[in-house]
Structure 1
Amino acid sequence: MTTAVEENVDATGYSARHLSVLEGLEAVRKRPGMYIGSTDSRGLIHCLWEIVDNCVDEALAGHCTKIAVVLHADGSCSVADNGRGIPVDLEPKTKLPGVELVMTRLHAGGKFGGVSYTASGGLHGVGASVVNALSARLDVEVDRSGHTHHISFRRGLPGVFSAEGPGASFRKKSGVHEGAAIPRTRTGTRVRFWPDFQIFLKDATITTDLVLDRMRQTAFLVPGLEITVTDERPAEPLHEKFRFDGGISEFTTFLAADPPICDVLRIQGRGHFTETVPVLDDLGHLVPTDVERDLEVDVALRWGTGYDTVVRSFVNVIATPKHGTHVQGFDKALVRVVNEQLRAVKLLRNSDDNVVKDDILEGLTAVVTVRLPEPQFEGQTKEILGTSDATRIVNQVVGKQLKDIFDNPGKAQKQQLRTVLEKIVAAAKARIAARTQRDTQRRKTALESSALPAKLVDCRTTDDRSELFIVEGDSALGTAKLARNSEFQALLPIRGKILNVQKSSVADMLKNAECAAIIQVVGAGSGRTFDVEAARYGKIILMADADVDGAHIRTLLLTLLFRYMRPMVEAGRIYAAVPPLHRIQLINPKRGQEKYVYCYSDAEMRRKLVELERKGVRWKEPPQRYKGLGEMDADQLAETTMDPRHRTLRRIRIEDAAEAERMFALLMGSEVPPRRQFIIAGASEIDESRLDT
């Protein structure tokens, strides 16, 4: 039997001597992605966060009030705090100084037993040691016990450098060097590390804006903590200081981009749970033990007039961008309480379906934070909270207090909360209407086109070349039919001025025949559920008369598109046709000279007439002024407005969404006084001669 095994080993060439055991920090250098996610800029900045988070944990424990982050010109980073300082005395089992232990051993630190830190972001005990392993040089200075203590490392090994910088010669040496005497009241830790570009990609770098955003965020989450950021890399060094005493209420206001419809609602509470964790007994054995835990919940939320949703979640100040169990509890409580309130105030009938999470999240800005000892994250990068009891506790705390807020509002708050509920109901109605449209109004084939409005003159192609002209009036439609290229140009006539949707509800908009026809023909739904990929046409072109009424119709159409089909506008697929305002007919034009000259404004016509007179060219008096598209014949409309080879189109773009939102609300909204002031302020710019009076 033994012989057979030996023969098998010899035959395959694979035996125990081919197995490797990675010791200490060697595993980190071999597989860095397991610990920091990647070796590009994202992984490099994660190393900085690991050091910063240790300082923030000191602040959460009440021992640190200042943190300083410096991005040095030589590519290194340093982080300093005025916390207690990493212990420098000898750890009994390993006989190593505490600072050397936490920097060289995985899963070593003060965050496992729940004694030194009741809530912390670094829980796996690998953060500082991983950064050390991936650094060409790392220096630590600890102010503690009346002295400054120094220790340096090279790729995870303790020792002494002969000079500044990572390129200096290095000698291995364990232990901490005790430096100058300092006042015994002065404590803190300073860590400076130089990334090892044997590990990181050569172009890996730390972006200043990311650091500023993260430090600003941390200052919001830890009220009273002062954080400074200095970037010495630019020619003019940057220096920023952050300190906020308002906590996550102030953070919520900072994150919100739209005007509020209610004040920030603050919810705070706590809960208890029992967790079974392995604990070392006196013999050094891991024994499953039940441990009582406290979980603190702190939530701030407010609704605004917009449609975008911003929900940020944190665990012990660590951002969880992919959320986790704490946000699951928040969502459940929010949906349950809002539905109960909607039925209590009769905004939902018993026969109506419940509103869903997406309806409630429309226009919501919220910050959800929890603090607990030893949370369970999914992975070292801590993007998802996995502690299952967080769902139950957050659900209970948010549910109870949010219900109390709705049941017992203040005098000013009562109308605000009513407005919030009405907004949610409106979002639900829009979702249901859009779902119905999406299910029934996809692009129809030639055999199915009878489901589309009868007045639609469709085109044959189905590719991105297709264009939908929304035409003002039936008279223009007749000419446009003859002027279009039926291969890729479709026509939809509208009668008069459509509904101003800025001042109307979703239900009123859908009842309006013209608005409903436009949404049906585009075939991609409306509102939050609008799917730009399902749009039946590559371009939507607004073709109205070149007069004041035409401009008004164009504005009403743009209001509809901005409110209910914004992705089309953002994608640059909305255009305005530019029909001519005047036609000059030349008398006896020269060979090669066009018989007709088109002008698109009064000023252009005057300039053209002066130019023709200077050249001795005669024209028929008076030049024709088009009162509408219907006055053109098909050849003229095609040449000037519809033929892609000759026409001029104006693309409608959103360069500033917030400013566009404000302008639509000003010009088309229900608030009259601001619009009156806008008109009065701009009255002096109007050419009175162009007024049709």
Structure 2
Amino acid sequence: MTETGNPSQPANVHEYSGSHIQVLEGHEAIRKRPGMYIGSTGERGLHQMVYEVVSCAVDEHLAGHADVIDVTLTADGGVRVADNGRGLPVDVQGPGGKSGVERRLTEFFFGSKPHTGYRVSGGLGGVGLYVVNALSSRLMVEVHRDGHRWTQEYEEGDPVTALTRNEETGEHGTAIAFLPDASIFEATHHSFATLSERLQELAFLNPGLTISLTDERPERPVRHRHTDGLRAYVAHLNPYPPSLVHSPAIAFESENQDATICVQVAMQWNTWSTGAFHSFANSTRSHEGGAHELGFRTALTDIVNRYARQQGHLSASDEDITTTAVHTGLTAVVSVKIAHPVYEGSTRTKLANPEANAYVQETVREHLTDWLDHHPSEATAIIHHILDTAT
């Protein structure tokens, strides 16, 4: 990152030279412009710090090495995130003589590397731990790996102790405890409700993963685990059974041949709401939508119209049902896990991968068509609901 002079002073082209360019390296750049990495220095950014550390633990789960994540809001205002994955590498790597732990916490690491076992990576895609460390006044990392417990401490992104090998242990996993820097954040009080909602969301998106949240300010623990995945998520979003057009929710998933993209979908119509659509890319909410949302909406509208005409609910002279009518009263969750996500903008809330559009369309067309053919009474109820909405 570079900065050029004082904007309050008038520019003098004759005095402008290379000496006026200030170069910020490493965590200095992150501390100078935190919003570029976590969105803001308000509550949103404060919680994003937690999500980035949790995301690294979720990556371990997706790679098949962790099934429990424990998040604790500590009494001193900090956060501790622990998982039972493989543990960050403790061996020395590269010419700088840094351990794998220190490199993850002090260097930019973009994308998934094959030897890590990560096919997909959420959050900031490897930069998350570095950013959290840089924006914390204190950080302690504890690793259970290679038969020992290892610890190291940091202040404002810099190591203040060496990676230390402690007592022997048969456990495995990583625990990171950090205290957000009060000189950077506008407030440092974490919302239990906000974090609980997001952690429950992650449990829905990753069946078989248990995520707990404990508040030591006073203690108020919750535990999230949902083996039924997105179907359970839709049931959570549709809390009024009498209003359901059909039950249970429609749910399906598919993975492409080279395992670079996995699509999960759950959907259910109701009569009480205007509709709710939630999309995710690598377990991160796509607030601005993107390719996967477009693929879902396109395929769904086409399938509903084709089925309605095949079954005689629409005549040849009738106009097609609109996308708006199809989505009225629909609660749907679409989640893609993709090896090489491409986002529009730095907020990572709009997915741009064209292959996500194509594969979501393919998956929805195949599985939803099959479901409608095998559930004619529920399919008829859905079409009648949509046609009533349209009129």
Question: What range is the shorter-chain TM-score in?
Answer: over 0.9
Distance 1:270 1:293, change over 3 A: closer
Q: Give the equivalent residue in structure 1 for 2:204.
A: 220
Q: Give the equivalent residue in structure 2 for 1:539.
A: none
How far apart are the structure 2 equivalents of 1:368 and 1:402? 13
Displacement of 1:93 in angstroms is: 4.0
Distance 1:11 1:304, change over 3 A: closer
Q: Give the equivalent residue in structure 2 for 1:28.
A: 30
Matching of residue 84 in structure 1 with residue 86 in structure 2: yes
How far apart are the structure 1 equivalents of 2:365 and 2:12? 67
Q: Give the equivalent residue in structure 2 for 1:16.
A: 18
- Look up the equivalent residue of 2:280 and give its one-letter code: F
Matching of residue 134 in structure 1 with residue 96 in structure 2: no
Distance 1:380 1:96, change over 3 A: farther
Distance 1:396 1:108, change over 3 A: closer
The answer as to whether partners of 1:256 and 1:310 remain within 8 angstroms in 2 is: no
The answer as to whether partners of 1:303 and 1:364 remain within 8 angstroms in 2 is: yes
Distance 1:342 1:43, change over 3 A: same
Q: Which has the higher contact order (CA 8 A, sep 6+)?
A: 2
Q: Give the equivalent residue in structure 2 for 1:346.
A: 312
Displacement of 1:204 in angstroms is: 4.0
Q: Give the equivalent residue in structure 2 for 1:209.
A: 193
How far apart are the structure 2 equivalents of 1:401 and 1:114? 34
The answer as to whether partners of 2:180 and 2:188 remain within 8 angstroms in 1 is: no
Q: Give the equivalent residue in structure 2 for 1:304.
A: 270
1:88-108 CA distance string (max 9 Å, x none): 101134321001001001235
Matching of residue 252 in structure 1 with residue 237 in structure 2: no
SS of residue paired to 1:238? coil
Distance 1:337 1:108, change over 3 A: closer
Out of 220, 223, 238, the residue aligned to residue 220 of structure 2 is: 238
Q: Give the equivalent residue in structure 2 for 1:187.
A: 172
How far apart are the structure 2 equivalents of 1:302 and 1:419? 12
Q: Give the equivalent residue in structure 2 for 1:98.
A: 100
How far apart are the structure 1 equivalents of 2:347 and 2:274? 27
Which structure 1 residue ranges, 4+ long, deviate > 4 Å from structure 2?
A: none
Q: Give the equivalent residue in structure 2 for 1:475.
A: none
The answer as to whether partners of 2:105 and 2:130 remain within 8 angstroms in 1 is: yes
- Look up the equivalent residue of 2:57 and give its one-letter code: C
The answer as to whether partners of 2:119 and 2:260 remain within 8 angstroms in 1 is: no
**What are the equivalent positions in structure 2 for 1:606-645 lying under 5 Å apart?**
none
The answer as to whether partners of 1:252 and 1:300 remain within 8 angstroms in 2 is: yes
Higher mean C-alpha deviation, range 51-60 or range 86-95: 86-95
- Look up the equivalent residue of 2:88 and give its one-letter code: I
- Look up the equivalent residue of 1:194 and give its one-letter code: L
**What are the equivalent positions in structure 2 for 1:524-535 lying under 5 Å apart?**
none
Displacement of 1:72 in angstroms is: 1.0
- Look up the equivalent residue of 2:221 and give its one-letter code: H
1:402-432 CA distance string (max 9 Å, x none): 11222x22xxx32221011011111112xxx
**What are the equivalent positions in structure 2 for 1:41-440 lying under 5 Å apart?**
41-107=43-109, 111-113=112-114, 115-122=116-123, 124-160=125-161, 175-183=162-170, 186-201=171-186, 203-234=187-218, 237-258=219-240, 259-263=243-247, 264-271=249-256, 294-406=260-372, 408-409=373-374, 413-429=375-391
Structure possessing the higher radius of gyration over alpha carbons: 1
How far apart are the structure 2 equivalents of 1:192 and 1:414? 53
The answer as to whether partners of 1:123 and 1:375 remain within 8 angstroms in 2 is: no
TM-score normalised to structure 1 length: 0.53
The answer as to whether partners of 1:112 and 1:123 remain within 8 angstroms in 2 is: no
How far apart are the structure 2 equivalents of 1:257 and 1:142? 41
Q: Give the equivalent residue in structure 1 for 2:5.
A: none
Distance 1:63 1:138, change over 3 A: same
The answer as to whether partners of 2:245 and 2:385 remain within 8 angstroms in 1 is: no
The answer as to whether partners of 2:139 and 2:154 remain within 8 angstroms in 1 is: yes
In the alignment, structure 2 segments of 5+ residues that lack a partner are 1-10
How far apart are the structure 1 equivalents of 2:131 and 2:13? 40
How far apart are the structure 1 equivalents of 2:343 and 2:151? 33
Displacement of 1:114 in angstroms is: 7.1
Identity of aligned residues (%): 37
SS of residue paired to 2:256? strand
Distance 1:352 1:59, change over 3 A: same
1:298-349 CA distance string (max 9 Å, x none): 1111111223211111222222222211111000000000011111122222
Displacement of 1:381 in angstroms is: 3.6
- Look up the equivalent residue of 2:262 and give its one-letter code: E
Displacement of 1:77 in angstroms is: 0.5
SS of residue paired to 2:292? helix
SS of residue paired to 1:20? strand
CA RMSD across the alignment: 1.8
Displacement of 1:29 in angstroms is: 0.7
Q: Give the equivalent residue in structure 2 for 1:625.
A: none
Displacement of 1:257 in angstroms is: 3.5
How far apart are the structure 2 equivalents of 1:307 and 1:102? 45
TM-score normalised to structure 2 length: 0.92
The answer as to whether partners of 2:69 and 2:210 remain within 8 angstroms in 1 is: yes
1:380-418 CA distance string (max 9 Å, x none): 542121212100110111012211222x22xxx322210
Distance 1:327 1:108, change over 3 A: closer
Q: Give the equivalent residue in structure 2 for 1:592.
A: none
Displacement of 1:252 in angstroms is: 0.9
1:512-558 CA distance string (max 9 Å, x none): xxxxxxxxxxxxxxxxxxxxxxxxxxxxxxxxxxxxxxxxxxxxxxx
SS of residue paired to 2:260? strand
1:273-316 CA distance string (max 9 Å, x none): xxxxxxxxxxxxxxxxxxx6621111111111223211111222
Distance 1:142 1:347, change over 3 A: same
Displacement of 1:76 in angstroms is: 0.6
The answer as to whether partners of 1:114 and 1:374 remain within 8 angstroms in 2 is: no
SS of residue paired to 2:141? strand
- Look up the equivalent residue of 2:295 and give its one-letter code: G
Displacement of 1:148 in angstroms is: 0.7
How far apart are the structure 2 equivalents of 1:69 and 1:155? 22
Q: Give the equivalent residue in structure 2 for 1:38.
A: 40
Displacement of 1:262 in angstroms is: 1.2
- Look up the equivalent residue of 2:122 and give its one-letter code: G
The answer as to whether partners of 1:32 and 1:38 remain within 8 angstroms in 2 is: yes
1:157-216 CA distance string (max 9 Å, x none): 1113xxxxxxxxxxxxxx311111112xx1000000011111111x34211101111111
How far apart are the structure 2 equivalents of 1:388 and 1:91? 36
- Look up the equivalent residue of 2:197 and give its one-letter code: D
In the alignment, structure 1 segments of 5+ residues that lack a partner are 1-8, 161-174, 273-291, 430-693
- Look up the equivalent residue of 1:427 and give its one-letter code: T
The answer as to whether partners of 1:306 and 1:362 remain within 8 angstroms in 2 is: no
1:625-677 CA distance string (max 9 Å, x none): xxxxxxxxxxxxxxxxxxxxxxxxxxxxxxxxxxxxxxxxxxxxxxxxxxxxx
